[in-house]
């Protein structure tokens, strides 16, 4: 079941995000976070009307997706948002990412957003496949911009117009 995240989900959201941090090449953060680190991010999303969605399975959060402003306070970009998504390692490869992304695309349309962006590392092949399956196209590339333990990688910008 996909639903809006609640404050009580923050511990699971943080744990899933920390799995991605530990795995490397899935986010540019390199140090684990705690729930308090994520509380401000979550509260800001809620206060500004940017949804954080969770996929709940067997009464536990199996994955989450956030819809965030893209280049905040630049009014010409107010109809563009960035999506980010992460799945618990136990639930990857089961179609949950596809369902979350599909739901988010529909939700963005309902909220009046016209352009969705996903910014990801070039080594994250699972996310690349997921985005392309959902109709996103590669719009940009920043070569060698990120480095993990001496290993450089690039960052892709994927986009989808939803109007």
**b/e burial code for range 48-86 (CB count within 10 A of at least 16 → b):** eebbbbbbbeeeebbbbbbbbbbeeeeeeeeebbbbbbb
Residue 163 pLDDT level (bands cut at 50, 70, 90): confident
Closest CA to 100 of 44, 53, 35: 53
Give the containing element (helix H, strand E) for 152: strand 151-161
Model pLDDT for residues 75-90, shown as the tens digit of each residue: 999 999 999 999 999 9
Residue 136 pLDDT level (bands cut at 50, 70, 90): very high
pLDDT (average), residues 4-32? 93
Cβ count near 141 (within 10 Å): 11
Count of domains for the chain: 1
Structural domain harbouring 145: 2-161
Q: What is the model's pLDDT at position 37? A: 85
Model pLDDT for residues 96-133, shown as the tens digit of each residue: 999 999 999 999 999 999 999 999 999 999 999 999 99
Q: What is the model's pLDDT at position 119? A: 97
Q: What is the model's pLDDT at position 40? A: 93
Residue 137 clears pLDDT 90, i.e. is over it: yes
Residue 144 pLDDT level (bands cut at 50, 70, 90): very high
Handedness of CA 144, 133, 54, 158 (dihedral sign): positive
3-state SS assignment for residue 163: coil
Contact 91, 123 (CB under 8 A): no
The CATH number given to whatever domain includes residue 92 is 3.40.630.30
Model pLDDT for residues 22-76, shown as the tens digit of each residue: 988 889 888 999 998 899 999 999 899 999 999 999 999 999 999 999 999 999 9
Q: Give residues with Cβ within 8 angstroms of 15, minimum separation 6.
A: 88
Residue 138 clears pLDDT 90, i.e. is over it: yes
């Amino acid at each position: 079941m996909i639903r809006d995240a609640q404050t009580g989900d923050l511990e699971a959201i943080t744990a899933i995000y920390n799995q991605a941090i530990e795995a490397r090449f899935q986010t540019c953060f390199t140090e684990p976070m705690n729930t308090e680190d994520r509380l401000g991010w979550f509260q800001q999303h809620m206060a500004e009307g940017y949804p954080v969605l969770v996929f709940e399975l067997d009464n536990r959060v199996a994955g989450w997706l956030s819809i965030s402003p893209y280049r905040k306070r630049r009014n010409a970009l107010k109809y563009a948002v960035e999506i980010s998504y992460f799945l618990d390692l136990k639930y990857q490869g089961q179609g949950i990412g596809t369902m979350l992304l599909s739901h988010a695309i529909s939700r963005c349309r309902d909220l009046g957003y016209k352009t969705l962006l996903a910014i990801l590392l070039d080594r994250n092949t699972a996310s690349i496949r997921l985005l392309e399956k959902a109709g996103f196209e590669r719009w940009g590339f920043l070569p060698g911009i990120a480095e993990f333990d001496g290993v450089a990688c690039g960052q892709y910008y994927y986009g989808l117009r939803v109007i």
